[in-house]
Amino acid sequence: MKTAECILTGGLWEGVSHRDWSDWTWQSANRIHTIPQLSKILGKATGNLGDYVHVIRNYPFCVTPYYLSLINLANENDPLRMQCIPDAREIHFSMGGVPDPLEEERDMPVAGLIHRYPDRCLTIVTYTCMTYCRHCNRKRMWKSERPPINRRYLQTMIDYIGEKKTIREVIVSGGDPLTMEEGHLEWFLKSLRSIPHVEVLRVGSRAPVVLPMRVTRDLCSMLRKYRPLWFNTQFNHPHEITRESARACEMLLDAGIPVSNQSVLLRRINDEYETMRELLYGLQRISVRPYYLFQCDPVEGTDHFRTDIATGLKMMEKLWGNMPGLCMPQYVLDAPGRRGKVPLFPSSPMSCMAVGAYGSFQQTH
Ligand SMILES: *Cc1c(COP(=O)(O)O)cnc(C)c1O
Ligand code: SF4
């Protein structure tokens, strides 16, 4: 496992104390988000700065010192670097992607609440993240002016959920809900918990990966009050599994909160069998259950991340043949046009043979 190194290229954090480094408020206050900072970090490796200006104007840039410290910045193809450092292809090579292919905005009965399946809904409680993932499927939201998210806005969602008796699970998402002020988040969870037909809460956050210090004792004791509460995070590459991220997941698990993982299949980041195997083994080692592997949505500004489905299926088939079932995520496509998530299965010679053998076994016994 890698540990965070405080001395980085450009010496940005030389001399910072371990105490500061491990404090999420320090990490948050020292996030990197400007062009001069970026060019200082990248040093000689900086491409055309003008490109970055354009990209960032469209899609803001922000990364925690912690996540940055896991990157070998000299390597342009570093799998973590590609996930957080802006790339000119986000605006130059956009071929045919649309801002909102899943038409989430059309499934919003009230602002910020997506109700696509009768039994569960997803709430967008903030637009802010600790680190902006360049492959984000909601990157449209960073761009446009949005109404501020205040208690009244959240109360409208709570009222809607209270009236819809079919909703038994509420997903608290964003943005990253753990960027919210803790008291505010607790008020929201508590309000949802007080609705009798809401059986289960789910929080989606990338904090364990990009700002693991955010998972504090206080946060865990707050969250545990609202169980059954499931925590979903997003590890995409084995380099993200560090002592710090393992500790964050362990604290949640200790608080009785199951932690699952949703990865996005990303070209040249995790679309090779060996890399994905290492990631899945790593997750099992830290007791995080792989849940979904998402086909990267055709979202504007993410073309260069997309792996084709055939490649994804081939990789899945090899994984199924070699890995324990507990390590296996479901490969899913969030189908454009509001159709929802569809599991993708390899229709392999292997499974045909297995089914054939099963049939002849039944006939002879
Ligand atoms: C993904 C998603 C959910 C949750 O679906 P699960 O299959 O239960 O993980 C709910 N609502 C929306 C709009 C979603 O996109
Ligand atoms: S943490 Fe989630 S919402 Fe935020 S940028 Fe990354 S993928 Fe998007």
- In tens, the pLDDT along 288-343 reads 999 999 999 889 899 999 999 999 999 999 999 999 999 999 999 987 776 789 99
**pLDDT of 212 over the 70 cut:** yes
Taking residues 225-231, report their average pLDDT. 98
What pLDDT score was predicted for residue 237?
Answer: 98
- In tens, the pLDDT along 132-176 reads 999 999 998 887 667 778 999 999 999 999 999 999 999 999 999
Indicate whether 55 and 110 sit together in one domain.
no
H-helix or E-strand spanning residue 201: strand 200-204
Distance (Å, whole) CA 333 – CA 339: 10
Active site residue 138: yes
Indicate whether 222 and 157 sit together in one domain.
yes
Ligand with an atom nearest the CA of residue 108: 1
Does residue 245 lie within any of the structural domains?
Answer: yes
Q: How far is the CA of 122 from the centre of ligand 1 (A)?
A: 7
Which residue, 46, 68, 92, sits at the end of a domain? 92
In the β-sheet with 340-343, what is the strand arrangement from edge to edge? 113-117, 120-124, 169-173, 200-204, 229-233, 259-264, 289-294, 330-335, 340-343
Q: Which long-range contacts (CB under 8 A, 24 or more apart) does 349-357 make?
A: 350/317, 350/321
Indicate whether 72 and 158 sit together in one domain.
no
Indicate whether 175 and 285 sit together in one domain.
yes
Active site residue 334: yes
Indicate whether 225 and 129 sit together in one domain.
yes
Nearest atom within ligand 1 for CA of residue 107: 13
What pLDDT score was predicted for residue 184?
Answer: 96
Does residue 98 lie within any of the structural domains?
Answer: no
Please report, for the domain that includes residue 191, its CATH number: 3.20.20.70
Q: Which residue has the higher pLDDT, 49 or 248?
A: 248
Other beta carbons within 10 Å of 181: 9
What range does the domain containing 224 cover?
Answer: 105-364
Of 44, 135, 34, whose CA–CA distance to 82 is shortest? 135
Q: How many CA atoms lie within 13 A of 348 on its CB side?
A: 17
Ligand 2 pocket test, candidate residues 84, 125, 206, 232, most atoms within 8 A of CB = 206
Nearest CA to ligand 2 atom 3: 175
Indicate whether 46 and 160 sit together in one domain.
no
Nearest atom within ligand 1 for CA of residue 114: 13
Q: How far is the CA of 231 from the centre of ligand 2 (A)?
A: 15
Active site residue 120: yes
Does residue 3 lie within any of the structural domains?
Answer: no
Does residue 2 lie within any of the structural domains?
Answer: no
What pLDDT score was predicted for residue 132?
Answer: 96
Retrieve residue 72's tokens: 């070998």
- In tens, the pLDDT along 100-135 reads 888 888 889 999 999 999 999 999 999 999 999 999
What pLDDT score was predicted for residue 347?
Answer: 76
Does residue 160 lie within any of the structural domains?
Answer: yes
Indicate whether 27 and 142 sit together in one domain.
no
Does residue 51 lie within any of the structural domains?
Answer: yes
**Sign of the dihedral through C-alpha 30, 36, 39, 43:** negative
Indicate whether 294 and 336 sit together in one domain.
yes
Indicate whether 45 and 109 sit together in one domain.
no
Whether pTM > 0.85 for this model: the answer is yes
Which residue, 55, 70, 92, sits at the end of a domain? 92
Q: How many domains does the chain have?
A: 2
Nearest atom within ligand 1 for CA of residue 340: 15
Residue type, 69: S
Active site residue 136: yes
Does residue 61 lie within any of the structural domains?
Answer: yes
Which residue, 49, 69, 92, sits at the end of a domain? 92
Query: Active site residue: 81, 116, 134, 206, which one?
Result: 116
Q: How far is the CA of 132 from the centre of ligand 1 (A)?
A: 21
Active site residue 296: no
- List ligand 2's pocket residues with C-beta within 6 A: 129, 132-133, 136, 138, 174-176, 206
pLDDT band at 47 (very low <50, low <70, confident <90, very high): low
Active site residue 129: yes
Indicate whether 247 and 289 sit together in one domain.
yes
Distance (Å, whole) CA 337 – CA 103: 6
Indicate whether 111 and 184 sit together in one domain.
yes
Ligand with an atom nearest the CA of residue 59: 2
pLDDT band at 46 (very low <50, low <70, confident <90, very high): low
Does residue 355 lie within any of the structural domains?
Answer: yes
Q: How many CA atoms lie within 13 A of 191 on its CB side?
A: 18
> 3-class SS at 220?
helix
Indicate whether 305 and 197 sit together in one domain.
yes
